[in-house]
Structure 1
Amino acid sequence: MARYLVSRSDVHQFIERCMKAVGAQSSHGSALAKVLVEGDYRGHYSHGLNRLDIYLKDLETGICAKDGEPLIEKSTVATALVNGNNLIGPVVGNFCMDLAIQKAKDVGVGWVSAYGSNHYGIAGFYSMQALKHSLIGITCTNTSPLVVPTRGKKIEVHQRHGKKIPVGWGCDSKGNGTTDPVEVLKGGGLLPLGGNEAAGGYKGYGLSLMVEVFGGILSGSLYSENIRPWKETNRVANLGQCFIAINPNCFASGFEERMSDLLKIHRSLEQSEPGLPVLVPGDPEVLHITECEHHGGIPYHVNVINFMNSVAKDLGVNLIPTNRTIDP
């Protein structure tokens, strides 16, 4: 099936139009557009335009605040607790990461926990902000209780595309493993990273609990089964998020040189299959960005564009341009 090719600017403007139509503050619409477009541009379609309708529904129903700013409730030289004031996640995320970066510049490390937040797109968007200042950035959220958060959105994408999910991603309402995304989304749940115990799922379970502690327990937000299910807009989300910035210069000298050597070692490892290079985190994103630059836009599955244009019609805003297509 051919894919629609849409420029980054067209997607950005479309998101801003939709946000304005539901009464969002202008700067908040821009913040959301930046992180969603970046998600798609880097190949994380589960966290991009695909999720816009959830943000819009939260704003339309009044469950999520349309304007305002986050508030610092507690602060030390290296830490802070932030009240997100029920604003959209990107507004809270940008505020918190900026704060963590400033603290890391001042004292070497900044750790900021937020409560009263909402879904904030790809976590890497905020970590990369630290990278721009030659800092290490770490971000986590308790959006999906007891799982690595990204998998939940991938299941939504598979459901929208009419595809099966890989074994080990989810279970049905009785706890049995399933490859049907509908079964997972309607009464089922997500499995920890690794799947069942034999495949190392207990390690993913422990990792997920750590994320829950950092994102939920530490911030005083909702956690685990208390978090509202996906796509429900009948109550405030009150998500917790954690933002960490670290100055490597406060530790052993030569950090960047050793990191470069480490990545070189991994990329030079023997391939498991001919023609498949060994990748390190960030490499798949670079490949997707290169594809987007080659085509002059972001390739979208037609179902995603058609769905979002149906949302646009309901809001009375201009549709996403769909005059360009490429083969899959």
Structure 2
Amino acid sequence: MLSVRLGLPLCFDGTVVKLLGVVVVNPLSTLGRCCSTVVERQPSRHNRFQHLQHLENHKRRARLTFSTATMAESLVAVKQEEAKQFMIKCLQAAGSEPGPAEEQADVMLEADRQGHFSHGMNRLASYCNDLLLNACDSKAKPTVVKESASTAFVDGQNTFGATVGNFCMNLAIQKAKETGVGWVVAHRSNHYGIAGWYSMKALKEGMIGMSFTNTSPLMAPTRSKERCLGTNPISLAAPAENGDRFVLDMATTAVAVGKIEIQRQKGEPLPLGWAQAPDGLPTTDAGLAFEEGCLMPLGGPELTSGYKGYGLSAMVEILCGISAGSLYGQKVRQWAHTGQGGAANLGQCFIAMDPSNFAPGFDARMSDLLGQLRGLEATDPNNKVLAPGDKERANVDKADATGVINYHMSQINACEALANQLKVKNILYTKM
């Protein structure tokens, strides 16, 4: 047994250490062995989290150069059209109709172009699994159950989430053109990819767009050891002058579950505050976090205002699951059981608003606000202040300039395994 004093960093030999009941993984480890510790006293939850923060900061500094070099060596380039066609072929091989397969592939491709790899090709296997287990019906068409001049309630008929999302957002935009605002909710939908795909559709019409969805229960509300709410994302897109725009697309958990999955695939630890272990304390063990499926709310623990993320997640649940009469909270099937727990029956909400119905000059003021944000003095001169959506737009511009998307080799390995299962041609890539 190794005795340690509280407050001392524990990244001395690259081992996996169990500290204060929390598994902490050092990515520099090549030994793969575990050590246990004897702690001299049991601190409060507050002090335990502070100690883990100190440890995580020390580890992050130690592995910075290592991580950058390893990441560069693990990336490969895939042409955008190759990525899209591979996703379409896999979905069709799993039983999808061509049109819906392309809709779903478009959303996945856009996620990867933006750099949100957790919601791109990373989700392909789960969509195929839903089709193979008849938990999703790509042949079905969304229908309007009831509507008013500015609202609609839609039955997604358990088809692809992208098909439902496109149908609902287009309907909301149509109503906004006629009445100034369109508000559409849907039930019996499925995972629809990045929420920003749908809010951004309103930008093309000079409108403000909003999109929300509930998801499988993955987040433990503040003070809870149990998961109850989903990642429940929020997205708002607003137009500005000369094609500029504000695009917010965020989970109400610390991160989306797909980012946990990617860290697990890469064999890398989680930043502290992303997920919690069964005892309710933060963990950096990606494998444990993925198996337990227990994310922390946006903001982390109560000490750092995680209850705000919890509140936002509950708000999305009201707009989606409760308003749409879909499954909600713990009633939604577990993420780990994708396809095996029956239809997902997710609730989703789509809003389009025409800003010309309010004070004139919206786009000009939006541009001015974006300029204020970007013009702020940065704490680090090498990292300027960005407006929401700037980073994603830069990633898209880079992907379009090169014509390729850079994937981690672990993603390619997963694609090849899926291709073999579905009997389709392997994805083509170029080593960097």
- TM-score in terms of structure 1 length: 0.96
User: Given the alignment, which residue of 175, 179, 201 partners 2:306?
Assistant: 201
User: Given the alignment, which residue of 167, 172, 177 partners 1:100?
Assistant: 172
Tell me the CA shift for residue 294 of structure 1: 3.9
Distance 2:274 2:138 in 1: 34
The SS at the match of 1:215 is helix
Tell me the CA shift for residue 293 of structure 1: 3.0
Tell me the CA shift for residue 116 of structure 1: 0.3
The SS at the match of 2:352 is strand
1:142-153 matches, within 5 Å, as: 142-144=214-216, 145-149=229-233, 150=251, 151-153=256-258
1:186-265 matches, within 5 Å, as: 186-232=291-337, 233-234=339-340, 235-265=342-372
Matched-pair contact (CA < 8 Å) for 1:173–1:186: no
Q: Residue 299 of structure 1 aligns to which amino acid in structure 2?
A: N
Q: Residue 244 of structure 1 aligns to which amino acid in structure 2?
A: I
Tell me the CA shift for residue 135 of structure 1: 0.7
Gaps of 5+ in 2: 1-72, 217-228, 234-250
The SS at the match of 1:182 is helix
Q: Deviations over 1:247-306 (max 9, x none)?
A: 000000000000000000010111011211000111111221232234330000011011
- What residue is the counterpart of 2:103 in the other structure? 31
- What residue is the counterpart of 1:325 in the other structure? 431
Distance 2:215 2:288 in 1: 20
The SS at the match of 2:428 is coil
- What residue is the counterpart of 2:21 in the other structure? none
Q: Deviations over 1:2-23 (max 9, x none)?
A: 4111111111111111111111
- What residue is the counterpart of 1:130 in the other structure? 202
Matched-pair contact (CA < 8 Å) for 2:122–2:258: no
Gaps of 5+ in 1: none
Q: Residue 243 of structure 1 aligns to which amino acid in structure 2?
A: F
Q: Deviations over 1:114-149 (max 9, x none)?
A: 110000000100111111111101001111425454
Q: Does 1:266 align with 2:353?
A: no
Q: Deviations over 1:224-262 (max 9, x none)?
A: 111111141212110111100000000000000000000
Matched-pair contact (CA < 8 Å) for 1:171–1:191: yes
The SS at the match of 1:218 is helix
Q: Give 4+ residue runs of structure 1 displaced > 4 Å after superposition.
A: none
RMSD: 1.2
Tell me the CA shift for residue 66 of structure 1: 2.9
Sequence identity of aligned pairs in percent? 45
Q: Residue 269 of structure 1 aligns to which amino acid in structure 2?
A: L
- When the two structures are aligned, how many residues end up with a matched partner? 325
- What residue is the counterpart of 2:6 in the other structure? none
Q: Does 1:68 align with 2:136?
A: no
1:161-200 matches, within 5 Å, as: 161-200=266-305
Distance 2:191 2:214 in 1: 10
* Structure possessing the higher relative contact order (Cα contacts under 8 Å, 6 or more residues apart): 1
- TM-score in terms of structure 2 length: 0.73
Matched-pair contact (CA < 8 Å) for 1:113–1:241: yes
Matched-pair contact (CA < 8 Å) for 2:232–2:317: no
Computing the radius of gyration from Cα coordinates, the structure with the larger value is: 2
Distance 2:371 2:302 in 1: 33
